[in-house]
Amino acid sequence: MAPAVPLASLLDDVPVLELRGDAATQVTGISYDSRDVQPGHLFVALEGVHADGHRFIGDALARGAAAVLHSRPLERAAAQAAGSRFAAVRVADTRRSLSPVAAAFHGRPSRRLKVIGVTGTDGKSSTTWFIHQLLGFAGRRSGFLSTVSFQPGDAVVKNPFRQSTPEAPEVHGMLAEMAAGGREFAIVEATSHGLSDRTNRLGDVLFDAGVLTNVTHEHLEFHGTFERYRSDKANLFRRLGRPKDMDCPRFGVVNADDPSAAYFRDAAAVPVYSYSAAQPADLFAGDVRHDLAGTTFRLRTAAGSREARIDFPGPFWVENALAAVLAVSRMLAADPLELAPWASRLTCVTGRMDYVALGQPYDVVVDYAHTPGAFARLFPWIRSVSRGRIIAVFGSAGERDPAKRPLQGQVASRWCDVVVLTDEDPRGEDGMAILGEIAAGCEGKTRGTDLFLERDRPAAIRLAFGIARPGDVVLLLGKGHEGSIIGPAGSAAWDERAEAERALREAGYGS
């Protein structure tokens, strides 16, 4: 538990418009959900998409909040009804102010860590996980935050949030735990939402190194345009090199095969290095040979080469491993070729290219791929290694980037023999309308023959298994590690692998 700190100490980097009450008020924690408030907390009233936290200030005070951070006028009646004294700080934007307040409350922990940020549309979680493992193989202690899981202490725990980048109090709380536990490095998956000035979730994390995987079509419902989406991601590179309490290499790492590599290089005021799976770069791969058990390749630099092997299958891992090896070698001032033998020790992140085998005569793979760009890399690779047809089961998230839906359908219809469209996270949207938008891009497919729309995901999985013949590959895409499906009524528990196993057992396999 963090010690109590005076309110005034949290406001050094916050433009305060008005302060009422005692600036020496002791704060024992930070909450932005009134239901989480405990006595002594600072309640931050965020203006959300579906609810305005200012409506719940009275509830927060009734639960014992000692102070309130707000941007709208306080409702006197609610404050008086709480029957308690409190301090109130008014700012122009509570969401932007939450980040510096959280950083200050937790002692600005990123100043005491060497922080590597990983951004991109696809491959962020895997690259983050690879960097963490490589540092461990080198005998260095690190913690990490990713879409899939966290390791702020000794144990890896599943990410409990339905957002890849948590709000600033959680981010800085975990960084503080890493620093207190004697960890040297923190690897932070840095999403476009987290890097955006609109949310500012990562605005007060002092990054030393930034890694770019790729930039493709995603999250335009939030960013508005591809240009803004890319610019928000590039905030990671713009912020590299800010002053902190330790000496540390400061650099960027970009994917030379991505069209946005030069944009990110230009955004940085520190050296930027490149990797590639297709062309000469600071670190690149040659003689890439895929098989169903993994990938063998030559790890190359200008000084030489060395054979490396990744012992799990999939088309993405060479790029992700190159990014991780380059970042770790630069951070440790090591020859990247010396890290080549460690590639075979890497393990895959949960929910990525997860094979489900219960004795069925066709392959079943669970993967998180859900963007047109991820599809464009996954499907050709599956085609190159498969013996039969490709059957893809996927959907598209509601209230998220509808422009990508027909693009998903377009890529899937090009490479897959059968497409089964189903719910992913429809949220408040009409689920069948979402599937219709994907189907609009499925050129050359015929409903009821090689294109099926089945909203119920368990039924869609069983439909795909019923269609599958010996040698086929059934791809269950879009959910991966996620533990729920979000619909109009809220979240329902979900485990893609477990559901696939259940369906296979119902079909008589695995017994």
Selection from 458, 317, 457 nearest residue 396 by Cα: 457
Looking at the chain, how many residues does it have? 511
The three-state DSSP-derived secondary structure of 98-119 is: HHHHHHHHCCCHHHHCEEEEEE
What's the average model confidence in pLDDT over 500-507?
96
The three-state DSSP-derived secondary structure of 254-276 is: EECCCCCHHHHHHHCCCCEEEEE
Average pLDDT for the chain? 92
Task: Determine the pLDDT at residue 84.
Answer: 57
pLDDT digits (tens, 9 = 90+) for 130-168: 999 999 999 999 999 998 888 999 999 887 776 678 899
Residue 223 clears pLDDT 70, i.e. is over it: no
Helix (H) or strand (E) segment spanning residue 17 = strand 16-20
What's the average model confidence in pLDDT over 381-388?
88
The DSSP letter of residue 19 is E
Query: Residue 220's pLDDT band (boundaries 50, 70, 90)?
Result: low
The DSSP letter of residue 52 is B
- Whether this model's pTM surpasses 0.95: no
Query: Residue 330's pLDDT band (boundaries 50, 70, 90)?
Result: very high
HSE-CB at 387 with a 13 A cutoff on CA atoms is 10
Query: Residue 81's pLDDT band (boundaries 50, 70, 90)?
Result: very low
What structural domains and CATH numbers belong to the chain? 5-103 (3.40.1390.10), 107-345 (3.40.1190.10), 354-506 (3.90.190.20)
Rounded CA separation 459/456 (Å): 5
Task: Determine the pLDDT at residue 508.
Answer: 95
Strands 484-487 and 5-6: unpaired
Task: Determine the pLDDT at residue 78.
Answer: 55
Helix (H) or strand (E) segment spanning residue 149 = strand 149-151
Rounded CA separation 333/304 (Å): 17
Task: Determine the pLDDT at residue 386.
Answer: 85
459 or 244: whose pLDDT is higher? 459
Buried b (16+ CB within 10 A) or exposed e, 305-323: bbebbbeebbbbbbbbbbb
Residue 41 clears pLDDT 70, i.e. is over it: yes
What's the average model confidence in pLDDT over 328-348?
96
Rounded CA separation 273/77 (Å): 58
Rounded CA separation 265/234 (Å): 9
- Name residue 239's amino acid: R
pLDDT digits (tens, 9 = 90+) for 169-210: 999 999 999 999 999 999 999 998 899 988 899 999 999 999
Mention every residue, 6+ apart, whose C-beta is less than 8 A from residue 441. Answer: 405, 406, 407, 408, 409, 410, 413
In order of 169, 446, 457, the CA distances from 389 in angstroms are 47, 16, 21
Cβ 215 vs Cβ 233: under 8 Å = yes
Selection from 58, 10, 14, 7 nearest residue 37 by Cα: 58
Gyration radius from the chain CA atoms: 24
CA 255 centroid distance within chain: 18
What's the average model confidence in pLDDT over 35-55?
90
Selection from 314, 298, 469, 317 nearest residue 380 by Cα: 314
Rounded CA separation 349/368 (Å): 10
What's the average model confidence in pLDDT over 421-428?
94
The structure tokens listed for 161 are 């949030």
What's the average model confidence in pLDDT over 100-128?
95
What's the average model confidence in pLDDT over 304-322?
91
Rounded CA separation 123/118 (Å): 9
290-293, Cβ contacts within 8 angstroms, sequence gap of 24 or more: 290/315, 290/381, 290/384, 290/385, 291/385, 292/385
Selection from 116, 112, 120 nearest residue 215 by Cα: 120
Task: Determine the pLDDT at residue 1.
Answer: 57
Query: Residue 217's pLDDT band (boundaries 50, 70, 90)?
Result: low
The three-state DSSP-derived secondary structure of 427-486 is: CCCCHHHHHHHHHCCCCCCCECCCEEECCCHHHHHHHHHHHCCCCCEEEEECCCCCCEEE
